Structures are given as structure tokens and as C-alpha cells.
């Protein structure tokens, strides 16, 4: 994680606490969609978190400004979970959300193999992998599988750095 981390404890997280008027709903929905695109961890209603670095802080500051411009309130906080277990729970939740997104790419790649022309699906799935990658702070195993599925769909060979000798413990799965 990019967050500043002391040797004996959790790293820093940037938190956005916000409230927005219910009406009109358009600004509230726009903020929610932007937060979803960033891959935030939802701590409670109106409280989200991301691992702290300059990029995530700036992105949440922009969203805070947007909430305020829409007549709401917002504040940015830098914090550390009280325990490593709490941080692991946040990371696990975020990784599970990304794993589901990567699994959807794997499923879509499998469906596209029957198409006469797979090029449009390859372009679309590569763009989706880039979008997911921007919010993937704690990469799950499905990340490599999704990239492999898209490479397979494109008919590309496995990169040499990913090839391992047979019968080694880190041998890639045959269907990956």
C-alpha cells in the first residue's frame, strides 16, 4: 500500500465525511458514482476511505468540493485504523470488490470466445481492466487471471516473466 506506515502499525488512510441534500438527486448520484469509480471503502453512511497518498487525497478533495458546491457538507481526514486487523478488514473488503469486477471480465472474455471477431471485445475488456486497475489498491488473485483471459482472447502468448517450469509450486493454472 502506498500509505505511510509505521513499522508497528497500520498505514494512513484519507477519509471523506460528507452529507448532501436529497433533492436535487443528480449531484448526490454524481458524487456516489465518482466514489464508486475510485473504489472507496464505505465505512458508514457518508464516510468513505482510501489508502492515503497524494493522488487519493486530491481526488477526495475534489469530490468534497463538489459536495459543498451542491449545498452539502464535506471534510477530509487523515487517519489510521486502531489495529492492523481493522486495516486488513478494509483491505479485504476492497480486494473482494475488485475480485468481483475482475471475475466479470473473466466471464465476459469466456463469452466472447465464440464471437467471429473478438477484437471489439478485447478492446472493451482491456479498457475495463485499466479502469479497475486505477482503483485496485489491494490486488486479488483474479487480477492476473483476468489479464490472462483477455490475452487468451486476443490470441497473445503468455509473457515470459509469467512462465514457470512444470512441477514448480508457482505454476500458473492451466485455465488461467
The DSSP code sequence of 5-45 is: --TTS---EEEEEEE--SSSHHHHHHHHHHHHHHT-EEEET
Query: How far apart are alpha carbons 165 and 173 in whole angstroms?
Result: 12
| 57 pLDDT more than 80 | yes
Total-model pTM: 0.78
Q: What is the mean pLDDT of residues 80-85?
A: 94
Whether residue 103 is preceded by a cis peptide bond, meaning omega within 30 degrees of 0, is no
Q: What is the mean pLDDT of residues 85-101?
A: 95
Residue 157: its pLDDT value, please?
79
The grid cell for 16 is 471523506
Q: What is the mean pLDDT of residues 155-170?
A: 57
Q: What confidence tens digit (pLDDT) does each residue in 105-126 have?
A: 999 999 998 888 999 999 999 9
Q: What is the mean pLDDT of residues 134-152?
A: 96
Residue 9: its pLDDT value, please?
66
Query: How far apart are alpha carbons 134 and 34 in whole angstroms?
Result: 13
| 43 pLDDT more than 90 | yes
The grid cell for 86 is 481493522
- State percent of the chain over pLDDT 70: 85
Count CB neighbours of 12 within 10 A.
18
Sheet containing 13-19: give its strands across: 41-44, 47-51, 13-19, 73-79
Q: What is the mean pLDDT of residues 157-167?
A: 57
Whether the Cβ atoms of residue 13 and residue 90 lie closer than 8 Å to each other: yes
Amino acid at each position: 500500500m502506498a500509505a505511510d506506515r509505521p513499522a508497528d502499525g497500520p498505514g494512513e488512510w484519507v477519509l471523506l465525511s460528507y452529507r448532501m441534500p436529497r433533492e436535487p438527486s443528480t449531484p448526490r448520484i454524481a458524487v456516489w458514482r465518482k466514489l464508486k469509480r475510485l473504489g472507496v471503502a464505505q465505512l458508514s453512511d457518508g464516510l468513505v476511505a482510501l489508502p492515503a497518498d497524494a493522488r487519493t487525497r486530491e481526488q477526495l478533495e475534489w469530490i468534497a468540493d463538489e459536495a459543498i458546491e451542491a449545498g452539502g457538507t464535506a471534510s477530509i481526514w487523515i487517519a489510521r485504523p486502531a489495529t492492523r486487523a481493522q486495516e486488513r478488514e478494509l483491505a479485504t473488503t476492497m480486494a473482494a470488490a475488485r475480485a468481483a469486477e475482475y471475475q466479470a471480465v473473466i466471464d465476459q472474455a469466456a463469452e466472447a470466445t465464440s464471437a467471429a471477431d473478438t477484437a471489439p471485445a478485447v478492446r472493451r475488456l482491456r479498457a475495463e481492466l485499466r479502469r479497475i486497475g486505477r482503483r485496485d489498491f489491494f490486488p486479488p488473485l483474479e487480477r492476473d487471471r483476468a489479464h490472462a483471459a483477455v490475452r487468451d482472447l486476443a490470441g497473445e502468448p503468455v509473457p515470459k516473466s509469467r512462465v514457470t517450469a512444470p512441477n514448480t509450486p508457482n505454476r500458473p493454472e492451466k485455465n488461467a
